[in-house]
Amino acid sequence: MALTFDDGPSESTPALLALLREHNAKATFFVCGHNAKRLPHLLRAVADAGHEIGNHTWSHRRLDFKSKAFMRDEIARTQDLVEEITGLRPRLFRAPYGVRWLGLGAVQRELELQGVMWSSIGLDWKHSGAAVADRLTRASEGGAILCLHDGRILAENPDIHSTLEAVRLLLPRLQERNLSITSVSAMLER
C-alpha cells in the first residue's frame, strides 16, 4: 500500500522522515512549489532518503474555474523547480483538494504526469493523531493509497503534531498486518 503526504515540504518534514526511516517505510510526497522554493534543503532530504516526489502545484490553489494556461503554469513551475533542486522530474500529480477541472488532463499529458488521488484521507488537519490513525487503519489494505499532510498549505512552520502522532501509531499497525508501506509508483509497479 502507498503512504502519501501533501503540502510540504515544511519545517516538520525532518520529524516525519525520521519516523519513516525508523519503520523502513517509503512514501510519496506531493509538494507545493512555493514550499520547495522556501525549503530546498528539505526537498533534497526527502529525495535523498529515497522517497518519491510528486507535484501538488505551485501555490495550492483550487483548479476549478481556472484556465488551462493557469494550470500549466502552476504545475510546470513546480516540475522545473523540483528537477532543479533534486535532479528528479516528478511523474505523479495530485490536484489540491482533489479538485480537477476541464483541461487538467491535457496539461498532465503534456507534462507527462499521472494523476493520483487517494482511497482514504486522514483529515489530519482537524482530528487528533489517534483518530487519524484509527481512520487510516480501518482503510488500510493492499492497493490502498493513504493521504496525510506534512504541511498545511503554504504556512511557515505549520503545526502537524496530529500527522506525526498518526504516523507514529499507524506504521507499526500496518507492519503487524504484513502490509508493505511504499511509494505510489512502487505500488503500481507491483
pLDDT in tens, the chain (190 residues): 999 999 999 999 999 999 999 999 999 999 999 999 999 999 999 999 999 999 999 999 999 999 999 999 999 999 999 999 999 999 999 999 999 999 999 999 999 999 999 999 999 999 999 999 999 999 999 999 999 999 999 999 999 999 999 999 999 999 999 999 999 999 999 8
Find out whether 146 and 171 touch, Cβ atoms under 8 Å: no
d(CA 109, CA 40): 27
d(CA 92, CA 7): 14
Task: Report the SS3 class of residue 182.
Answer: strand
- CA Rg value for the chain: 15
Candidates 6, 7, 124, 150; catalytic one: 6
Quote the pLDDT of residue 190.
Answer: 84
d(CA 121, CA 7): 13
Instruction: Give the orientation angle of helix 13-22 with respect to helix 40-48, to 10 degrees.
Output: 10
Sequence ranges of the domains in the chain: 2-189
Residue 124: partners with Cβ closer than 8 Å, 6 or more residues away: 132, 148, 149, 160, 162, 163, 166
Active-site residue, 149 included:
yes
Provide the CATH number for the domain formed by 2-189 in this structure: 3.20.20.370
Candidates 48, 149, 150, 161; catalytic one: 149
